[in-house]
Amino acid sequence: MILFILKRIGYAAPVALGVSLVCFLLVHLAPGDPLSAILPVDATAEMQAQMRSAYGFDKPLPVQYGLWLWKILHGDLGTSIATGRPVLSEVGRAVGNSLILASMATLIGFTFGTFFGFVAGYARDSWLDRVASAIAVFGVSVPHYWLGIVLVIIFSATLGWLPPTGAGPQGSGNWFPDLEHLRYILLPAITMSVIPMGVISRTVRALVGDILHQDFVQALRAKGLSEFGVFRHVVKNAAPTAIAIMGLQLGYLLGGSILIETVFAWPGTGFLLNAAIFQRDLPLLQGTILVLAMFFVTLNLLVDVVQTALDPRIERA
């Protein structure tokens, strides 16, 4: 198992290096000078050159990349051009909030997704299957930012039950697990949960359908095992894949939360990205994307390892 984990890490390392290269090049994709956003309009050529060397933009690209990577490995993601604060601390605070929202959404999505998936998989081609499948298609087709607006219209603007924006009372920037904060997370989390719900219920439906058609299920029934006993075997067989999908969905949600965080003014990474893009704060943009992508790479690795640990049939080659 340890050999397997080492092999997986060996496979993920070049990917991580590639990811860092893409993040680094992002800044150089941008049209114009990365410093144009903070330099005053009447800055002299001399001042521009000064700034460029202060930020290291005057060196050749490979050297810049090397220096940048070296700093990152030492936990220095650079300084935000707009605020002058270290990028790492800005991202760190936002990642926490995003992670809470994404985990909540994944949990809701996984619960309902597996439920609908099992119902549909057991009752193939019945009306229950059709309803569950319709919900799944809805989940993967609905523009979630629009669903968020619709939920705000219904539950905040019309009924006045839940707050429309923010993470807590009085614009509280840090989420805290109490009843008041729970009211704030409910709408964004439900909005976000429709995507994993759709994906998971589709996967589980297919899995359950396949498992029920396998010979061992027939054998279990033939030997007189109760339907609940058979169900337990089905769950055990479906679990590794379902959990793997759940892990990946958490990563997708964390990376894709910008649209929903914008709708709900949720103080997470999406919100930070939005600010970075529109203030043309390229170090912040670069740092946030790097952290999110690295999180996703690590999550992929974890999912691989956990799935293999759970399912002994997967070869640890």
Partner 1 sequence: MNVQTSLATGDPVAAVAAPEIPAVASRGYWGSVLRRLLRDPVAMAAACVILAIVLAAIFAPLIAPMDPFKGSMVRRLRHVGDATYWLGSDELGRDMLTRLLYAGRLSLFMGVLPVVIAFFVGSGLGILAGYAGGWVNTVIMRVVDVFFAFPSVLLAIALSGALGAGILNSIVSLTVVFVPQITRVAESVTVQIRNRDYVEAARVSGANPFTVVRVQVLGNVLGPVFVYATSLISVSMILASGLSFLGLGVKPPEPEWGLMLNTLRTAIYVNPVVAALPGVMIFLTSISFNLLSDGLRSAMEVRQ
Asked if 6 touches partner 1 (CB under 8 A), the answer is no
DSSP string, the chain: -HHHHHHHHHHHHHHHHHHHHHHHHHHHHSSS-TTTTTS-TT--HHHHHHHHHHHTTTS-HHHHHHHHHHHHHTT---B-TTT-SBHHHHHHHHHHHHHHHHHHHHHHHHHHHHHHHHHHHHTTTSHHHHHHHHHHHHHHHS-HHHHHHHHIIIIIIIS--S-SSSSSGGG-SS--SSHHHHHHHHHHHHHHHHHHHHHHHHHHHHHHHHHHTSHHHHHHHHTT--HHHHHHHHHHHHHHHHHHHHHHHHHHHHHTTHHHHHHHT--SHHHHHHHHHHTT-HHHHHHHHHHHHHHHHHHHHHHHHHHHHH-TTS---
For partner 1, the closer CB: 297 or 306 = 297
Asked if 82 touches partner 1 (CB under 8 A), the answer is no
For partner 1, the closer CB: 220 or 276 = 276
Residue from the set 149, 186, 217, 225 that interacts with partner 1 by CB under 8 A? 149
| Closest distance to partner 1 from the beta carbon of 165 (Å) | 11
For partner 1, the closer CB: 101 or 282 = 282
The answer to whether 289 and 78 are in contact (CB under 8 A) is no
Asked if 187 touches partner 1 (CB under 8 A), the answer is no
Over its C-alpha atoms, the chain yields an Rg (Å, rounded) of 24
Sketch the per residue contact string, 289 through 308, with partner 1: x for CB under 8 A, - otherwise: x--xx--xx--x--------
For partner 1, the closer CB: 194 or 234 = 194
- Count interface residues toward partner 1 (CB under 8 A): 51
| Closest distance to partner 1 from the beta carbon of 158 (Å) | 7
| Closest distance to partner 1 from the beta carbon of 134 (Å) | 10
Q: Which residues contact 15 (CB under 8 A, 6 or more apart)?
A: 297
Sketch the per residue contact string, 202 through 241, with partner 1: x for CB under 8 A, - otherwise: ----------------------------------------
Subset of residues 31 to 60 that bind partner 1, contact rule: CB under 8 A: 31
| Closest distance to partner 1 from the beta carbon of 19 (Å) | 5
Q: Which stretch binds partner 1 (CB under 8 A): 63-71, 203-211, 277-285, 307-315?
A: 277-285
What residue ranges bind partner 1 (CB under 8 A)?
14-16, 18-19, 21-23, 26-27, 29-31, 137-138, 140-147, 149-150, 152-153, 157-158, 251-252, 254-256, 258-259, 262-263, 273-274, 276-278, 282, 285, 289, 292-293, 296-297, 300
